[in-house]
Amino acid sequence: MRPDPHLQFLPMQEADLVEVADCEVEATEYPWSLQNFRDALHAGNSCWVMRSGGVLLAQGVMMRVLDEAHLLIISVSPAWQGMGLGRQLLDHLCLCAAEQGAREMFLEVRPSNLHALALYGKRGFAEIGRRKAYYPAQNGQREDALVMRLEL
């Protein structure tokens, strides 16, 4: 499925990083830092922003290794959540991965992230494993990660 043509999917630039990191802080309880995004960009990962009328709506980062793609992060600004933008950005990242020769995409997600799990499930990702105590959680605890896979 192709994304909505009225949205702009733009390669992330150095000039986007502060805005991207600020959006990430608003969008998630355990955000990537500005340096995480800078490192991903400088490492040559596929880093994207979604904009409409110049407004940052979402961002995503994907790493490709040989014929595999790994979704590292996808987040939507809280003001724009619940409008299907995460699905459109995910579709864009999957299309980019396939065009770059990836045959499958992997990701990790918190079991407590029900919105993300629903999105990935609708897109066709299937759970293939679990990483114990992968993510930081409240009160110094750790949360598992579900490992999911999609054939592209």
Three-state SS at 99: helix
At 5 the pLDDT is 56
Look at strands 68-76 and 104-109 and give their pairing: parallel
Active site residue 24: no
What does each C-alpha distance from 41 to 5, 34, 138 come to in angstroms?
Answer: 25, 11, 29
Active site residue 30: no
Amino acid at 48: W
Q: Which residues contact 10 (CB under 8 A, 6 or more apart)?
A: 48, 49, 50, 51
Q: Which one of the listed residues 19, 68, 104, 108 is annotated catalytic?
A: 108
Distance CA 10, CA 132 (A): 35
**What pTM was estimated for this model as a whole?**
0.91
At 53 the pLDDT is 86
| Alpha-carbon dihedral angle through residues 10, 93, 135, 76, given to the nearest 10 degrees | 50
- pLDDT tens, N- to C-terminus, the chain (152 residues): 444 557 899 999 999 999 999 999 999 989 999 999 999 999 999 999 999 988 999 999 999 999 999 999 999 999 999 999 999 999 999 999 999 999 999 999 999 999 999 999 999 999 999 999 999 888 889 999 999 999 99
At 7 the pLDDT is 86
Length of the chain: 152
At 138 the pLDDT is 86
Provide the H-helix boundaries in the chain.
17-27, 34-42, 85-99, 114-123
Please answer whether residues 92 and 63 qualify as being in contact, where contact means their C-beta atoms are separated by less than 8 angstroms: no
